[in-house]
Amino acid sequence: MCGLTGVFQSQNSGLDSRSILQIMTDGLNHRGPDDAGVWCDQDAGIALGHRRLSILDLSPAGHQPMHSACGRYVIVFNGEIYNHLELRNQLSGAHGGWNGHSDTETLLAAIAAWGVNAALKACVGMFAFALWDRQRRVLTLARDRLGEKPLYYGIQNNTFLFGSELKALRAHPAFVGEIDRDALALYLRHNYIPAPYSIYKGIQKLLPGTYLQVDTALKMDVETYWSVNEVAESGSGDLFVGSEAEAKAELTRLLTQAIRGQMMADVPLGAFLSGGVDSSAIVALMQAQSSNPVKTFTIGFREEGYNEAEYAHAVAKHLGTEHTELYVSPEQAMAVIPRLPEIYDEPFADSSQIPTWLVSKLAREQVTISLSGDGGDELFGGYNRYFIGQALWRKLERLPLPVRARMAGLMTSVPPERWNAMLSAMGFMLPGKLRFGNPGDKLHKLAGVLRCQGPESLYFGLISLWDEPSNVVLGSTEPTTILTDRRQWPALPTTVDWMMALDTLTYMPDDILVKVDRAAMNLSLETRVPFLDHRLVEFAWRLPLSMKIRDGQGKHLLRQVLYDYVPKSLIERPKMGFGIPLDNWLRGALRDWAESLLNESRLNQDGFFAPAGIRKKWQEHLSGQRNWQYHLWGVLMFQAWLDEQRVLRK
């Protein structure tokens, strides 16, 4: 796991490429504290920089930028090729000998022997790399199939810049850094910026499963070597026909294979453990393959409803892991907030970024690698929206849209606080299952659901925050994304399959994987995600939906695998998520900080947001009328990021 960056120019700029590249590379030292290297060919206009976190081959033979044995290629690589020893065996006959045992050297040899496309298809791993072909004078950027490793690129002032994080690009004199208001509107909708967009005009994220080639005229050509859509469509058209027992055996085999490959390292290794299905399955199969207790890590909160540490402790005790847990105070958690803009590098507002950084910090004190259970929800139907959303739509579609719209209008005609007062007075007449805290807020949310015209709009509503973000971001027009462009949707048999595919294409790489990568790499901790082994992903898409979701519960088959190692009683409980009591913090300890970023004069001065809607939500949140924590957190994280950029420019 490392950081990479570089520059490609169609003509000699006269700048000192090596010294500039050194500054760009140094900005990524948190991603690779063990070694650094730069390589430049001033005549060709190419410069590559690398920071190394040594995982495999800790010797100088793993140093980058690395040259191929044939001398044709130079590469900077971030990630891991888990099957690189198998690839070496295939290459040994044609290869003239190995300098070390790094997977980077293996990848270079594969590219030299088979070409970029074939080498990428042969690799099992997570990665991003930049490859210079000295013979053709072509630069290739590539990213892994599911988007575990980041890679930004773009042309600024006739200079092609790229890097693992935006901070590396910002260090180049050619970088413009104009904020893209259209991308900002997308950010307010999702609390992350969907690929290929970034917060800056002219800078993009390379899409997962693709590689980009750039010639000396800076002409760019993108190729896809692996596609979620193709895998999902192919799998749903060729469903697994064996028994559930046979499917369980195959899932166990593939997950064991993935974990075995990802436990390969020359440094200490452990795992995050929440006590939920996904992380418990990963740890159980790790422990089954290890002669020593696996190191596991979890954090807990004292606040009721936000603590999973006790469940993780029970699972760890049953499996016999070497478990470390830390109960975090609100003060410790909130102390992370000032660091978030620097850690995430562009606006990012999944509030579980805070506990993710804290558990990464805890793990880094003992290990250099930690496996995680991310990806299980998207592959095996774990999110509530998959089974609740479909059931809800089946009930809603029985009522004509005009009737539902009228009902929604009546609901929203009464302010939430009045609903709260009326229903509180009637509380003794309501059955227990209909007694909610802040019922007015929930009725207004239900009104939005009633207006949906189909399952697609229902899903889009469930994954959206600000409904009309272009009305909040001044001068913006919300651009199309995979979520809004039907031409990019896979053709799948059910709405649930479709939702799972879109989450795999968007939410997972642009939110979940970003959250984990930036938090962990800020602390020089490598994270690995066994569920995203593409062989496992391809099998998951062949499973009938009934083996994923059954009786209103997701991850059916994965649970059966887990129950061979962990008693059902330790696992079965409502899905909690990795959250923090943000709504209360914003009304309490964070109130002054938030007010300083959300006050009307500040918003007007910055000129990005129309203050009225933001101020209204802020006042409603403070009064307890509504819980707008996620809407407000997105604005707050952008404002804090903006402050960070101003400091950096000084």
Which residues belong to the active site?
2
- Residue 553 is given by DSSP the state B
Tell me the CA distances in angstroms from 513 to 59, 271, 374, 459, one per residue in order.
29, 16, 8, 21
Report the Cα 78 to chain-centroid distance in Å: 16
121: Cβ contacts below 8 Å, ≥ 6 apart: 225, 226
- Closest by Cα among 527, 503, 504 to 145: 504
CA dihedral sign of residues 486, 487, 488, 493: positive
Beta strand segments in 43-137, E: 46-52, 66-67, 73-81, 125-133
- Residue 305 is given by DSSP the state T
Is residue 130 a contact partner of residue 76, using CB atoms and an 8 Å limit?
yes
491: Cβ contacts below 8 Å, ≥ 6 apart: 233
626-639 burial: b if 16+ Cβ within 10 Å, else e: bbbbebbbbbbbbb
Tell me the CA distances in angstroms from 66 to 412, 524, 572, 621, one per residue in order.
62, 21, 49, 54
The Cα 197–Cα 202 span in angstroms is 9
- Closest by Cα among 231, 316, 301 to 271: 316
| Position 545, amino acid | L
Of the chain, the end-to-end C-alpha distance in Å amounts to 31
Task: Say how many residues make up the chain.
Answer: 650
Tokens of residue 461, six digits = 């509503």
The Cα 65–Cα 49 span in angstroms is 7
Phi, psi of 104, deg, nearest 5: -65, -45
| Position 187, amino acid | Y
Beta strand segments in 82-230, E: 125-133, 138-143, 152-156, 159-163, 203-205, 210-214, 220-224
